[in-house]
Structure 1
Amino acid sequence: MQDWPYPLWIAHRGAGKLAPENTLAAFRVGASHGYRAFECDVKLSADGIPFLLHDATLQRTTPEQGTAGDRLWSELSRIDAGGWHGRAFAGEPLPSLETIAAYVLRNGFALNIEIKPTPGHEPETGRVVAREAARLWAESRAAPAAPPLLSSFSPEALQGAMESAPELPRALLLDTLWSGWFDTARTLGVAACVTHHELMDAALIAQLHGAGLRALVYTVNDPAEALRLQALGIDGIITDAVDRFSPGESVRD
């Protein structure tokens, strides 16, 4: 993408430290702090509905147990995904991708959808999430601020996304610079790479920019680290600290 339409600052999982992560409530909290771009994790229910959840299992962020992807959406949609965070959020549901898309589109926000497959369902999840994202943005009556950015740690999921909706931009997530990552990124036709912030340095940014790719990082919560990355010319910073970093200002010591 020659023109990069996404803001520098991106709220992680909505605003997943101040509110229950990957819920509509978290997005609203992030928006209340001035954020206009959000990251979230999306996987598939047993009947193929894309919905927001980070973990493969339910127990960390809901009262339920077991693999989320084994359940039908009619059951998942009734699970409390907010009470674990505090009584103020009790009853907050797991949102579908369609629900989150409606919120961001109506408000002119940008969305980074991390494709987070249930293990063993990587290509299918990539295909379905990309297809549904393309449909939701195409059918929106509002003019989108930007197309959804589809990211994943799974090359297989990104391959599925490329096959299903090649027009949507993709990003390869990296927690290490594993052997062959750069060739894989180019083969997948990604627009960006998103690394753990400690991996990103001047040489890596130069390599990515030299190949016409954007450089983004996760998850930056320390002002000194944000300053370092901004000085290097980073293109995107994913953060939990929406109450500490103002997305409309440069970071100060």
Structure 2
Amino acid sequence: MKSVGIILLVLSMVSCQGTDDRFPDQAADLHRLLSADSPVYPIVSAHRGGPAKGLPENALETFRVSSSAGLMLIECDVAMTSDSVLVLYHDDTLGRTSTGKGLISTWTWDSLQSVNLIDPLGFETGLRIPRFDSVLVWAKDRTLLAVDIKRTVPIDQVLRVLGNYRAADRATIITYRGEDAVYIHQQNPDLHLSVTIRNLDEWYQFRQTGIPVGQVMAFTGLEEPPAELLDTLHRNGIASIIGTFRSADLLQDSTRRKSWVSLLSSGYRILATDHPLLADELIDSLKSE
């Protein structure tokens, strides 16, 4: 019960904080903030928001707790209901992280109101699947979103909602294929993109897209790439991201910390992790040394 009390206290504190003038007011500000030479680095990307006990993945309440640590990216997954409402949910089916069953695409938004989210330990919470537009409104001047569009969701619909809420100042769009990155950039040149560049071949392929290097960050995968790739990315102003949620995050505390420190020493700008508060605490301690 103590952990639940701490969570409620943090949520109460965060709800009273209001907005933060450190965050961008327009897309150009976001591009500068996320460039490789920005003074904000290193920072954390909270994988699926940073789920923990009592805090399910892709839940607004989880985002609030993670973002309370300060500037970080909140990674979230966009799915769509049968009545075309964009919501945050990772899986195609509801069973793993909620009390619902079956494909989320067969549920209406109204019917999802009977579904509760389940935390990483398997416990049912009283928290609900959030709407994407509600999260965009909340994120303004509070945090930055890394938006992962699920395969079954029309990209144009997500772009429409981002445009309606003028959210290019608070969202970077995750892409895994060069053609998707090109399409999104063509439809909305203001949007910041996260592109997958795991080796020099993918770097050369990206350069052929014509997307400005000042409007992207690079996800380099779940394993360290050649040092030459990091040097190339950073020389071109592109911030590097590495996912630790299938490697360092699974280690014991002291070993995990050493692994994170090693990655940061290699020059990584962003750690994408399931433990955003622990990683952010480590980064703060390193910055103060």
What TM-score range do you get, normalising by the shorter chain? 0.7 to 0.9
1:115: Cα distance to partner? 1.7
TM-score (norm. length: structure 1): 0.78
Is 1:15 paired with 2:38? no
* Alpha-carbon distance change, 73 to 160 in structure 1, aligned in 2, over 3 angstroms: farther
Matched residue, 1:248: 284
Please give the per-residue CA displacement for 1:130-161, whole angstroms capped at 9, x wherever unaligned: 231232235xxxxx9x4311113244543442
* Alpha-carbon distance change, 224 to 64 in structure 1, aligned in 2, over 3 angstroms: same
Counterpart of 2:116 (choices 77, 80, 86) is: 80
The residue type paired with residue 129 of structure 1 is: V
In the alignment, the residues of structure 2 paired with residue 251 and residue 224 of structure 1 have an alpha-carbon distance, to the nearest angstrom, of 16
The residue type paired with residue 240 of structure 1 is: D
Residues 102-251 of structure 1 correspond to what in structure 2 (within 5 A)? 102-105=137-140, 107-118=141-152, 121=153, 124=154, 126-137=155-166, 146-173=169-196, 177=199, 181-186=202-207, 187=209, 189=211, 191-219=216-244, 221=249, 222-245=256-279, 246=281, 248-250=284-286
Q: Which secondary structure state, in structure 2, belongs to the residue aligned with residue 93 of structure 1?
A: coil
Matched residue, 2:25: none
The residue type paired with residue 128 of structure 1 is: Q
In the alignment, the residues of structure 1 paired with residue 237 and residue 73 of structure 2 have an alpha-carbon distance, to the nearest angstrom, of 22
Q: Which secondary structure state, in structure 1, belongs to the residue aligned with residue 130 of structure 2?
A: coil
* Alpha-carbon distance change, 84 to 63 in structure 1, aligned in 2, over 3 angstroms: farther
TM-score (norm. length: structure 2): 0.69
The answer to whether the 8 Å contact 2:78/2:150 transfers is: yes
Aligned length: 237
* Alpha-carbon distance change, 132 to 44 in structure 1, aligned in 2, over 3 angstroms: same
Moved more, 152-161 or 205-214: 152-161
The answer to whether the 8 Å contact 2:78/2:147 transfers is: yes
1:109: Cα distance to partner? 1.2
Residues 53-64 of structure 1 correspond to what in structure 2 (within 5 A)? 53-64=89-100
Matched residue, 2:5: none
In the alignment, the residues of structure 1 paired with residue 103 and residue 180 of structure 2 have an alpha-carbon distance, to the nearest angstrom, of 19
Matched residue, 1:66: 102
Matched residue, 2:37: none
Larger Rg: 2
In the alignment, the residues of structure 2 paired with residue 154 and residue 59 of structure 1 have an alpha-carbon distance, to the nearest angstrom, of 28
Matched residue, 2:134: 99
Bigger relative CO (Cα 8 Å, ≥ 6 apart): 2
Is 1:90 paired with 2:125? yes
The answer to whether the 8 Å contact 1:11/1:35 transfers is: no
Matched residue, 1:141: none
In the alignment, the residues of structure 1 paired with residue 223 and residue 161 of structure 2 have an alpha-carbon distance, to the nearest angstrom, of 33
* Alpha-carbon distance change, 110 to 83 in structure 1, aligned in 2, over 3 angstroms: closer
Between Structure 1 and Structure 2, the one with more helix by share is: 2
The residue type paired with residue 236 of structure 1 is: I
The residue type paired with residue 235 of structure 1 is: R
* Alpha-carbon distance change, 159 to 76 in structure 1, aligned in 2, over 3 angstroms: farther
In the alignment, the residues of structure 2 paired with residue 130 and residue 212 of structure 1 have an alpha-carbon distance, to the nearest angstrom, of 25
Q: Which secondary structure state, in structure 1, belongs to the residue aligned with residue 220 of structure 2?
A: strand
In the alignment, the residues of structure 2 paired with residue 52 and residue 103 of structure 1 have an alpha-carbon distance, to the nearest angstrom, of 14
